[in-house]
């Protein structure tokens, strides 16, 4: 079983602070997706990283894929209350396992004004 | 709305009844995936389908659960003789599968409650 461990599970911070969420595995993934999920809604795709060491930026969000493609991080700069939500990482595989995303447990982020 | 459509959004069933969950993929997407999100747990893969074919059903319970994606119409996840443990949010996702990374786009989900 390929597991993705996300940490921290809960994060409560003040507006303007920076934060980092980690996603770790002992398995190699061909791609790594980050999603954000609001209560009562489905996950919304934020970014996909595919190359070891790749860094992608989305406004105040920075995503990094580890060199060995086993881990990833999401860094948010100057967090805002609108960033509040559940953040999920998901690993994708190639070949016969294509299509079977493995999700982390998620990080519940609360940003207080 | 060009996104993944799921209906119903909420479904209440009594133990022993059948539940049918529908999913229409994004326009241009021919690959459909079903995931289940249990309370306090993460999303778990159930099944991967293409039109008229089941590609991977390794996450589906062996009994009572079935899925299809007919040539015409939405994909259907069917749960027969529901039990309380089936209560969960069921999400459908779709992708284009161009040979690139496995980018899946999710629908809003169906919240199933079994009384």
CB contact under 8 Å between B102 and A102, yes or no, is no
**Angstroms from A83 CA to nearest CA on chain B:** 19
Neighbours of A77 (CB within 10 A): 13
User: What confidence tens digit (pLDDT) does each residue in B59-112 have?
Assistant: 999 999 999 999 999 999 999 999 999 999 999 999 987 667 778 999 999 999
Taking residues A26-51, what's their average pLDDT? Answer: 94
- pLDDT exceeds cutoff 80 at A99: no
Strand A31-37 versus strand B110-114 pairing type: unpaired
User: What confidence tens digit (pLDDT) does each residue in B2-54 have?
Assistant: 799 999 999 999 999 999 999 999 998 999 999 999 877 789 999 999 988 99
pLDDT for B98 equals 67
CA angle B40, B44, B46 (to 5 degrees): 140
Distance between CA atoms of residues B3 and A24, nearest Å? 30
CB contact under 8 Å between B106 and A35, yes or no, is yes
- pLDDT exceeds cutoff 80 at A97: no
- pLDDT exceeds cutoff 90 at A25: yes
- pLDDT exceeds cutoff 70 at A38: yes
pLDDT for A1 equals 54
Distance between CA atoms of residues A36 and A110, nearest Å? 13
CB contact under 8 Å between B33 and A50, yes or no, is no
Choose the closest CB to B108 out of A42, A90, A99: A42
Choose the closest CB to B102 out of A92, A103, A104: A92
- pLDDT exceeds cutoff 60 at B1: no
Distance between CA atoms of residues B10 and A73, nearest Å? 34
Interface test with B, best of A89, A101, A106 (most B CBs within 10 A): A101
In 3-state terms, what secondary structure has residue B86?
helix
Mean per-residue pLDDT over chain A, rounded: 93
pLDDT for B102 equals 74
CB of A33 less than 8 A from some CB of B: yes
CB contact under 8 Å between B102 and A99, yes or no, is yes
- pLDDT exceeds cutoff 70 at A37: yes
pLDDT for A15 equals 97
Nearest CA in chain B to A101: B45
Residue A55 is encoded by which pair of tokens?
């860094």
């Amino acid at each position: 079983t390929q597991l993705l461990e996300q940490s921290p599970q809960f994060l409560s911070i003040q507006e303007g602070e920076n934060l980092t969420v980690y996603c770790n595995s002992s398995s190699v993934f061909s791609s790594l997706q980050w999603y954000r999920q609001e209560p009562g809604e489905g996950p919304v795709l934020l970014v996909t990283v595919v190359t070891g060491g790749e860094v992608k930026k989305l406004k105040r969000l920075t995503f990094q894929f580890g060199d060995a493609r086993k881990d990833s991080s999401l860094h948010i700069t100057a967090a805002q209350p609108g960033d509040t939500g559940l953040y999920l990482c998901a690993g994708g595989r190639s070949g016969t396992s294509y299509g079977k995303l493995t999700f982390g447990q998620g990080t519940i982020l609360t940003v207080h004004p | 709305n060009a996104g993944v459509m799921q209906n119903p959004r909420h479904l209440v069933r009594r133990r022993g009844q059948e539940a049918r969950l529908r999913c229409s993929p994004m326009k241009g997407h021919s690959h459909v995936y079903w995931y289940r999100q249990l309370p306090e747990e993460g999303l778990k893969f159930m099944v991967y389908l293409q039109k008229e074919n089941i590609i991977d059903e390794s996450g589906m319970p062996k009994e009572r659960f079935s899925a299809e994606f007919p040539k015409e119409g939405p994909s259907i996840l069917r749960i027969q003789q529901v039990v309380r443990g089936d209560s969960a949010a069921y999400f459908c996702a779709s992708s284009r599968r161009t040979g690139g990374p496995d980018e899946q786009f999710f629908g809003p989900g169906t919240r199933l409650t079994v009384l």
